[in-house]
């Protein structure tokens, strides 16, 4: 699973989606860092 955020309309959609498909804390960490 790639943790690279997907930019859509200037919003990080990939990272947010990652929260639901994997470890929530890991997903939020990706969202905050990126």
Q: Residue 2 pLDDT > 60, yes or no?
A: no
SS3 labels along 1-34: CCCCCCEECCEEHHHHHHHHHCCHHHHHHHHHHC
What are the pLDDT digits (tens) for 3-31?
555 555 656 555 555 555 555 555 555 55
User: What does the domain layout of the chain look like in residue ranges?
Assistant: 1-34
**What pLDDT sits at residue 9?**
63
pTM above 0.75, yes or no: no
């Amino acid at each position: 699973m790639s943790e690279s955020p997907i930019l859509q309309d200037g919003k990080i959609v990939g990272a947010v989606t990652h929260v639901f498909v994997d470890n929530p804390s890991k997903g939020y960490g990706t969202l905050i860092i990126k």
